[in-house]
Chain A
Amino acid sequence: MSRKAIIIDDERLARTELRKLLQEFPEIEIVDEAANVDEGIDKIDLHHPDLIFLDIQMPGKTGFDLLQEIDRAPHVIFTTAYDEFALKAFEVNALDYLLKPVEPRRLADAIHKFSEVIQKETTGTGEFINRDKLNDNDQVFVKDGERCWFVKLNEIRLFESVGNYAKVFFGPNKPLILKSLNALEERLDEKVFFRANRKHIINLRMIDKIESYFNGGLLVELKGGDKIEVSRRQTVKFKEMMSL
């Protein structure tokens, strides 16, 4: 069954070249192309592709900027002619990238890897069920200074608001993303991600201990040791949700 893909690159010839190479892979269907970030975002919203081939160096906004502007990052294979910084970031975080001119063999490896991953993720029909809310397996792109990651939502245990930003707690990392907690709350499944207080959203699946706290509130300890207070108002909601 074929997966939908979009090619985003400002050079027409580069897009043509990649299309030509992808003819060898009938399981990948190129549904559209884009020549810059804004076009790219429109096309992604329109087609909801499973995969995008994303050039990094583009005029105006870069490939990274695009990923930070969309909520849910599809699978990404980066393309670049030569970008010292990006290559280091990718190798460290096992992100997939291709060097232009693209070697067919490397392309085959990347597509193979993608096919395996997406096989595990999607349901039988291969369609997204709930378009509006992000589900556990969705990944978000997070960039903090020179480091970047694709993080699955089910790996995130805590969001903490820091001014206009949110700190994302996953593994040993706590990078910042430019999103408010309110905006996040709208996109996250409230059965999994719970707004504990004004400053925190916690992943209910990552709770280790719950204790009573001052004023009718609760103190929740998450895996990894973070202790978060649940405000009194939210405690009422919490108990309703968790009760049998």
Chain B
Amino acid sequence: MLYAFFYWSLGITSAKQPHFFAQLLLEAAQGFVLTHIMRGTISETKLLQKNLNNQIVGVAILLMAFSIIYSISNILIELGLHIESPSVAEYTFGNKVIRAAFGCFMWLTIWSLIYFTYHYIIRSRQEEVDKVRLQALVKELELKTIKAHINPHFIFNALNSIRALVDENPERARTAITELSNILRSSMTSDKVETVTLEKELNIVKDYLALEQIRFEERLQVQFHIDEDTLDQPVPPMMLQTLVENAIKHGISKTVAGGHIEIISDFKDNHHELIIRNTGHLNGSANEVGFGIGSTKNRLNLLYGSNASFEIKDISTTEVQAKVILPVQI
């Protein structure tokens, strides 16, 4: 159909030619048929899926071939139907073919460029959409695994210790079972809410540390320095818990004599500061800690943007400190 339009606009200028409309009709019809055959050829040979160089070569060949086919058929039909323009009747057959082919080639090239550009735009848009969808899916799964965060090593060790306590200290065994059940429940529901109060989070941390103290006994010393006014501040669920677990996993459980862990929460410079200080050192376990640190930073970023921050570093040869800074909610 584009053909008709182009020829029409061109034809206006040379309307004095006899057989004009017949020619126009013929050319439009031919153009229509030709472009459909071309489209067919392109999808048959899967030209669009070959690499760029092959595509260009392929298209060029296609265009030339079709131009020649077009011009030959055009001239023959015109001759046959006696609708040839008088101005061109004098040229030899070969000459006529080349002229017509050249003209056709130009139009076909333009048409092809439009066709291909259109397809590329559609395809890259689709790819963008797919990419974004894939990224969203990956993030979702990541978040699920971080939050639905049940540490099997800890669970089974805790159960083993509790079983031993049943005879040795039945009361302690009972409270330990309650503590474990609190932790499991909190692990399972942590992905339902955006934030919890510091008080709630601390309860879980206390239960967790109580259980770890059963295992480590005197090898784990725990201290809390919590400003009471910070207790109702919102914090991301299981974030403090993860950091405390890391402190135990990479710090205290790695030293034969054990160590201590201090948890501090207070207001500082209009921010809410959470600090975990523990025996241990960073350098060796940089890789394993990576996952927890990365996800902590991500969560803080998602929730608070640049208003929150997280850092972890050695503050002496035997101590590590992790600091979370959160905005204050009134």
B161 contacts the other chain (CB 8 A): yes
Nearest-Cβ distance from residue B258 to partner chain A, whole angstroms: 8
**Known contacts A82-B152, A100-B156, A100-B157: does B214 contact A60 (CB below 8 Å)?**
no
B160 contacts the other chain (CB 8 A): yes
B119 contacts the other chain (CB 8 A): no
- Bound together, the chains give a CA A104 to CA B214 distance in angstroms of 23
Report whether B255 and A59 are in contact in the complex, using a CB–CB cutoff of 8 Å. Answer: yes
Interface residues of A in 220-234 (CB under 8 A from B): none
Contact of B156 among A12, A13, A99 (CB under 8 A): A99
Kindly list chain A residues whose C-beta atoms are within 8 Å of the C-beta of B156: 81-82, 99-101
Produce 1/0 per residue, A113-139, CB < 8 A to B: 000000000000000000000000000
Report whether A59 and B256 are in contact in the complex, using a CB–CB cutoff of 8 Å. Answer: yes
Report whether B160 and A14 are in contact in the complex, using a CB–CB cutoff of 8 Å. Answer: yes
Nearest-Cβ distance from residue B220 to partner chain A, whole angstroms: 11
A11 contacts the other chain (CB 8 A): yes
Report whether A101 and B153 are in contact in the complex, using a CB–CB cutoff of 8 Å. Answer: no
B217 contacts the other chain (CB 8 A): yes
Contact of B152 among A11, A57, A81 (CB under 8 A): A81
Report whether A59 and B160 are in contact in the complex, using a CB–CB cutoff of 8 Å. Answer: no
A36 contacts the other chain (CB 8 A): yes
- Bound together, the chains give a CA A57 to CA B249 distance in angstroms of 11
Nearest-Cβ distance from residue A169 to partner chain B, whole angstroms: 33
- Bound together, the chains give a CA A59 to CA B163 distance in angstroms of 22
Report whether B214 and A13 are in contact in the complex, using a CB–CB cutoff of 8 Å. Answer: yes
**Known contacts A81-B152, A82-B152: does B254 contact A17 (CB below 8 Å)?**
no
Nearest-Cβ distance from residue A7 to partner chain B, whole angstroms: 13
- Bound together, the chains give a CA A84 to CA B157 distance in angstroms of 15
- Bound together, the chains give a CA A97 to CA B164 distance in angstroms of 20
Interface residues of B in 133-192 (CB under 8 A from A): 152-153, 155-157, 159-161, 163-165, 167-168
Identity of the chain B residue whose Cβ is nearest the Cβ of A13 in the assembled complex? B164
B96 contacts the other chain (CB 8 A): no
B112 contacts the other chain (CB 8 A): no
Report whether B153 and A57 are in contact in the complex, using a CB–CB cutoff of 8 Å. Answer: yes
A20 contacts the other chain (CB 8 A): yes
Identity of the chain A residue whose Cβ is nearest the Cβ of B254 in the assembled complex? A59
Report whether A81 and B160 are in contact in the complex, using a CB–CB cutoff of 8 Å. Answer: yes
Report whether A11 and B256 are in contact in the complex, using a CB–CB cutoff of 8 Å. Answer: no
B215 contacts the other chain (CB 8 A): yes
Kindly list chain A residues whose C-beta atoms are within 8 Å of the C-beta of B165: 13
Report whether A14 and B253 are in contact in the complex, using a CB–CB cutoff of 8 Å. Answer: no
Interface residues of A in 4-48 (CB under 8 A from B): 11-14, 16-17, 20, 36
- Bound together, the chains give a CA A101 to CA B214 distance in angstroms of 15
Nearest-Cβ distance from residue B280 to partner chain A, whole angstroms: 11
Nearest-Cβ distance from residue A99 to partner chain B, whole angstroms: 7
Kindly list chain B residues whose C-beta atoms are within 8 Å of the C-beta of A11: 157, 160-161, 215-216
- Bound together, the chains give a CA A14 to CA B214 distance in angstroms of 11
Nearest-Cβ distance from residue B285 to partner chain A, whole angstroms: 13
Q: Please name the 6 residue pairs, one residue from A and one from B, whose CB atoms are nearest each other, closest first.
A: A81-B156, A13-B164, A17-B164, A100-B160, A82-B152, A101-B160
- Give A contacts to B, CB under 8 Å: 11-14, 16-17, 20, 36, 57, 59-60, 81-83, 99-102
Sample of 14 A–B contacts (CB below 8 Å): A11-B215, A12-B217, A13-B168, A13-B215, A17-B161, A59-B255, A59-B256, A81-B152, A82-B153, A100-B157, A100-B159, A101-B159, A101-B160, A102-B160
Known: A11-B157, A12-B217, A99-B156. 8 other contacts (CB 8 A): A11-B161, A11-B215, A14-B160, A14-B161, A16-B164, A16-B168, A60-B256, A81-B160
